[in-house]
Amino acid sequence: MTDPAGLHFAHARAPGKINLFLKVGQLQDDGYHELATAFQAVSLYEEVRAYPADDFSVSFTGTVDTTGLSTDGSNLAIKAARLLARKTGYTGGVRLEVEKNVPIAGGMGGGSADAAATLVACDALWGTEASRDELVAMAAKLGADVPFALTGGTAIGTGRGDQLSPALAKGRFHWVLALAEFGMSTPDVYTALDRHREKHAQDIFPASLQPTVDADVLQALRAGDPRQLAEALRNDLQAPALGLAPGLGSILELGERVGALAGIVSGSGPTLAFLVPDADSALELQVELSASGLHALRVTGPVHGARLVQEW
């Protein structure tokens, strides 16, 4: 593609996600947990534009504060571009411009969406013609949430959350997001969960080694029934996230009091996702939350995963 200035470039977008269900298995010897999760990609997107360059660089704009993001080789978008170049034998570089709209460290997989969109944009820019399966394999090397950002829709994740199988979801679900002005460290939330389980080992049922997604989640998705889904939402990381950021609990209570069918911490937080019956209810809840001084957005799901944007 060519932009108005005549520069060859490629533009791809990838969605953020909500964990409708997240069951965390026992802490294993390698320090990780087996997961059983249901993801839904929602209509809040990261936009990545890729331009030819001799080396690799990334810059950020967008609706969220990006001042704390790294722009060196540790950035996931740079890692994605370099991995694609290495796997395909491409010898040039790329200049990435990322427009971020998914909250940073917000439990919605924004960095993973950057990586997925970068794979798609660079593959188009460089003409490397990687297959979808090859891109998914590369995505899995970059992080547990990156394959889902590439595929989108609604899916069940097992293993570390990166072993995906599609889940049939009928219709469209309406969500209102309450965005926090701070991020949360995923490792810190998992550590808090492990400590809680260890402290209360005598009082709580032990976590499964290989957890599974509850059948009522899958039934609600197949039925396209938001009320049924509201009853099935679950996140094992919610309690530790609320322990680390107690103010989130009052926002959950507020959302459910003023119209949400249910609210849930998305992933490791701190973003809160409220499920509502329809578009009108979403607008009403957004207005209520905004009147309380919260940054609230309406989104829908499921949506497609990372794809090339054919604008020109």
Binding-site residues, please?
Answer: 103-113
100 among known catalytic residues: no
**Annotated binding site for ATP: which residue ranges?**
103-113
Closest CA to 245 of 176, 185, 199, 177: 185
Q: Which of 114, 123, 145, 162 is the catalytic position? A: 145
145 among known catalytic residues: yes
Q: Residue 112 corresponds to which tokens in the numbers above?
A: 């993973």
**How many Å apart are CA 146 and CA 88, to the nearest integer?**
19
CA distances from 137 to 115, 134, 259 (A): 13, 5, 41
Report helix angle 279-291 to 247-257, nearest 10: 130
Q: Which of 17, 23, 79, 100 is the catalytic position? A: 17
Residue indicated by tokens 């026992």: 26
Strand partners, 24: 35
**How many Å apart are CA 43 and CA 300, to the nearest integer?**
6
In this structure, the chain runs to a length of 312
Q: Residue 154 corresponds to which tokens in the numbers above?
A: 């609604």
Active site members: 17, 145
